[in-house]
Chains A and B, each alone.
Chain A
Amino acid sequence: MPTQVLGPLGHGLLTTVLMTALAFAGALLLGVLLAVCRISPVPPLRLAGAAYVTAFRNIPLLVLLVLFVFGLPEIGLLYSLFATVTLTMALYWAAFVCEVVRSGVRTVPRGQIEAARALGLTFTQCLRHVVVPQALRSMVQPLGNVFIGLALGTSLAAAVGVPELTGQAQLVTLKYDNPLTSFALTTAVYVAITLTSGLITGRIERKVAIKR
């Protein structure tokens, strides 16, 4: 039995990894945009950013998944399950990335920003030359946590029909009636993913940290 489950579980692992990578990339992109909105001097942008974060951060991911998977087709938007779920994950985690980026920016001493503005730098120049290079370094560990949360969160996709790692473990369990083996394997893989990313972010963090 153990050898027969490896094939399906391997496929599930690929789906999990692909979904994690795509959703994290999407969440990073959107999250940074949102954070720029939230710290921008334009009030409507700040409002939109805050509204987005509040909306997505306060709905459980599983509820969002069910809403998107079964709600979107009702208004005529029928995409593949994988696309729908990955998009939902990106939208959800973007709210968390936004807050990480925003708090990262807040670690830059206010005096530096005021000094930059006093020197005549524009908002964009100030971000690019003063704020972002410093802020990025303090975001490593929190972003690593978002990544871990996202990687584990992909298991919820099994509930809405995506055959990722957890979904395949369920299928394999149906076939061989051996839940302990398949879920033990699955658990080991998730732990490996999270430990590895924890180690990597720890390394990067130590390298780039700013000693203040």
Chain B
Amino acid sequence: MTTRSALAVPALLLTMTVAAGLTACSSSNSEQLPPKPGASGDSYQQVIDAAPVAAAADIPAGSLMAKIRARGTLNVGGTDAAALFALKDPVSGKVTGFDAGLADMLAKYIIGRPSTNRVQVDVTTREVLLQNGTVDSVIATYTITQARAQKVGFAGPYYSSGDAILVKSTDHSITTAADLNGKSVCTETSSTAANDIKQFAPKATVVLFQTNAECQQAVEQGRTDAYVLDQALLLGDAARDKNVKVVGQPFTDEPYGIGVPLSSPDMKAFVNNWLKLIESDGEWAKLWKATIGTALSGDAPTPPAIGSAAGS
């Protein structure tokens, strides 16, 4: 019986070696993780610090906003794995990006300080979490569609993106969506891109991975020929990794909205007014510069008109 405990130690050591070895193999993942805090961290924080706070008169008693203010935190549905929009810094644990910044600014507008409680959401849970009141809003590159608008309210759109294609930098066979026919194409599990691929390239094989990092890795390793997702996210990947590139122009239109409970139309109007405010006073553009602007060159684009997307 003593042999068993004597075996445990070498066995454990072997386990750790195997695990460490395999982890090391995929360590190229880590180089794309830090969201360039040096370039954007300071001004990002400055944008949040300068964000406006709503006047007391804007928050009627009994409204969802009043409830959030009394609670002291905004429950916001989001993710922490979307480069440029909401990405968790593995060291500080802080989530930064365009969506994360908007969440902080919205919380500050309602409560007076950027106090948010982030709830991880994905495509299967977003509508349900809004309907059952777990979250007050969803800010997560959430494309406005008419089907979704029957279940939740959409403020915005606050950003306009479109699906683009990411391939290995050595690949020259894919330049348009039609070239994806007959190829294997990956995308994130929670993205509407899966449907778009099927529509624009019906003969493509769609492979779903959980995260942006996994999709990018799959293209680099040659497991899939291309990766289709919103252009802004892909440009973020390509900016950090020279082994991949983004080809062609966006082939769909993805208006991002802020999801709010359908039962709180006052919240939708309130968020729309807030969006108009930060768009007109330049805060929106500053946040863009501090986040998406770190991967894209040029000035901040003109935000899409509030209510311009079908369903918003």
Per a CB cutoff under 8 Å, which of A43, A46, A66, A174 touches B194? Answer: A174
Whether, in the assembled complex, B277 has its beta carbon less than 8 Å from a beta carbon of chain A, the answer is no
Closest-by-CB residue of A relative to B208 is A161
Interface centre among A73, A75, A81, A174 (most CB of B within 10 A): A174
Q: Does A211 contact B (CB under 8 A)?
A: no
Which B residues, 238 to 259, have Cβ-Cβ distances below 8 Å to chain A?
Answer: none
Report yes or no: B26 in contact with A70, Cβ–Cβ below 8 A. Answer: yes
B contact face: mostly helix, strand, loop, or mixed? helix
Main secondary structure of the interface of A (DSSP, over half): helix
In whole angstroms, how far apart are the Cα atoms of A66 and B214 in the complex? 9
Give the Cβ gap from A7 to chain B, nearest Cβ, in Å: 13
User: Is B210 part of the binding interface, using a Cβ–Cβ cutoff of 8 Å?
Assistant: yes
B221 touches A70 (CB 8 A): yes
Could you tell me the distance between the alpha carbons of A50 and B13 in the complex, rounded to whole angstroms? 12
Contacts A159-B210, A161-B186, A161-B208 given; indicate if A173 touches B123 (C-beta within 8 A).
yes
Is B23 at the interface (CB under 8 A from chain A)? Answer: yes
Which residues in window 17-52 of B have CB below 8 A to A? 18-19, 22-23, 25-26, 28-29
Instruction: Identify the closest chain A residue to B194 (Cβ).
Output: A174
Return chain B residues, CB-CB under 8 Å to A68. Answer: 22
Contact A177 B11, beta carbon cutoff 8 Å: no
Flag if A70 contacts B195 (CB, 8 Å): no
Question: A51 contacts B10, CB within 8 Å?
Answer: yes
Measured CB to CB, the nearest residue on chain A to B124 is: A179
Residue of B nearest to A177 (CB): B147
Q: Contacting A75 at CB < 8 Å: which of B14, B25, B145, B223?
A: B25
Closest to A179 in B: B124
User: Considering the chains assembled together, what is the distance between the CA atoms of A67 and B19 in angstroms?
Assistant: 8
Q: Does A167 contact B (CB under 8 A)?
A: yes
- Asked whether B25 lies within 8 Å of A74 as measured between CB atoms, the reply is yes
Is B206 engaged at the interface, CB distance under 8 Å to the other chain?
yes
Q: Are A174 and B210 in contact (CB under 8 A)?
A: no
Q: A67-B22, A81-B207 are in contact. Are A174 and B7 (CB under 8 A)?
A: no
Question: Could you list which residues of chain A lie within 8 angstroms of chain B, going by C-beta atoms?
Answer: 43, 46-47, 50-51, 53-55, 58-59, 66-68, 70-75, 78, 81, 158-161, 163, 167, 170-171, 173-177, 179-180, 183
